Chain A
Amino acid sequence: MTDITPPKDPSRLSLALQSDFVYQFKRSPVAVVSFAITLILVLGAVFAPLIAPYNPFDPASLNLMNGFSRPMTPNAFTGDSFWLGTDDQGRDVFSTILYGMRISLFVGAAAVAFAMVLGITLGLLAGYVGGWTETIIMRIADVQLTFPSILVAMLIFGVAKGVTPVEYRDQMAIWVLIIAIGLSDWVQFARVVRGATLVEKNKEYVAAAKLIGRTGPAIMVRHILPNVLSPVLVIATISLALAIIAEATLSFLGVGAPPTQPSLGTLIRIGQGFLFSGEWWILLFPAVTLLALALSVNLLGDWLRDALNPRLR
């Protein structure tokens, strides 16, 4: 038998750059633009302390005289100029947006991660084990689906707030928010993973894995999980946009991020009080940022769904 020597393996990076996935991405203007916007916003949030001209959380740096400065116009009293103006307390709106986005993105990403871990675990269990386990998990999911998720999140948030001691409330608020949004969002992960697991578990490679003596958990994690991940990726992206909006909604309603750690939703809540007194910029700029963030992440998720599903091409 002759040995065939294949050409030297190309590096992983060059393989990735030549993949269908990257090719599809480059050919889709929507994907490129929304990816660029997402990237800029995320980088802005991550490097907020370096980019922001002011630290809006440092009371010492605030000057009440700077309050209600118009965008790009020098303040009447101090002569300071702010790109996007200031709010009632003289905080630079641009800086608060950057810091607010940090909290919005962190809460959104952590909530999705939490929902994902919970949903994947329960979905795999339901799909693979079946029987009573499946019935119990999926009926809980069905019941939860009958309530609007924002209501579920508010319920969890309210209960959690009730049981945490007053002095920790502000510190815990962010984590409670993450758990509340995560718990209201695990159902779709569980449903999709369960469905995909039902398909995969009847394939012969799973029988083969059983045959070599792998235990149930090992088969679920090593063999089934990687094969059900691509729909999960799509849902995770779209869920991220939804989680950011959910967080903003909760914060807007005053039950989310506290004013000491304002997220985009908190900023919008603060801003709406000034809309009709003429200080439109306090509301408009955080709102536009939230819109851009949620929309671009959502469009990216849509594109990802099409790109990962060859049948939709």
Chain B
Amino acid sequence: MRKAFPFSAIVGQTEMKQALLMAAVEPRLGGVMVFGDRGTGKSTAVRALAALLPPMMIVPGCRYSCAPVDSAPCIEGCRERAGKAVQQVPVPFVDLPLGATEDRVVGSLDLERALATGEKRFEPGLLAKANRGFLYIDEINLLEDHLVDLLLDVAVSGQNVVEREGLSIRHPARFILVGSGNPEEGELRPQLLDRFGLSVDVRTPTDIGDRIEIVKRCDAFDREPDAFCARFEDAEHKVVDQIAAARKRLPKVEVPDSILELGTRLCQAVGADGLRGELTLLRAARATAALAGKKLVAPHHLASVATLALRHRMRKNVLDDTGSTARIERAVAELVAA
């Protein structure tokens, strides 16, 4: 298998990297939407993060990558079959192709078995494959609407419910949904956008030095992938340790009342719709505090995630051109400084 580009070797794009790390630490954030031009390293970053995470343990041969110890029973009774054996696999990374059919995504009746032996068997789809890993959808705004609905529903509930072709099956499908898209090619419906936890705007790096560095690193990686990865090994270990420590710390991170109030005031100030935004804002702030190694969420944690968590939830006046980001930054500056 080809080595993935090291996560820490990605030049710039700090906002995207921060959002992905937060999603890796706190899966309940509910996915990351990356808006931006092509060739900005979106898919590279997501792939790199998936490859970076330490391998996970599964029940050998389970088609849903069940964890050996989990309260949720597997629909195929894999644990009973496998006994105490465990298997180590890399964290799954599923790239959902744009033209994927619903069959392929949700899973369907196993055609082979049905026709040849008459057996009714479920053929798991991409959602099963992505369980406990990442599901990446490039150009999500071009995906058919009913598929986007379905994906977001599964991503939030963590369960894939199949009721079709005489099958009635539900299986775990917990994954970090990462969507990307270019708003110039068609927009995502606002009610779908709202379901994503974080939203990132990536821009092509304009600094010529950064661009040269990117080209150089890609070139070095092309020619000597092993040597290149070795160069970033220490940095990669640091990120892995940071994620592991943050995951452990996260349940213990406290959110003081003053921060809860600040979050509410911030959401009101920018006119972000719904409770979901507020909840995401606080969860993101908590994940940031955990990543920073703190036990208490501070105002600056909240400030650093405000744009990520709220940017895509603001009521838009079509004829008003003021960017959402600018409005949030203004509100943050007023409230957090005060």
- Binding partners A and B: no
Q: Could you tell me which A residues sit within 8 Å of B by CB distance?
A: none
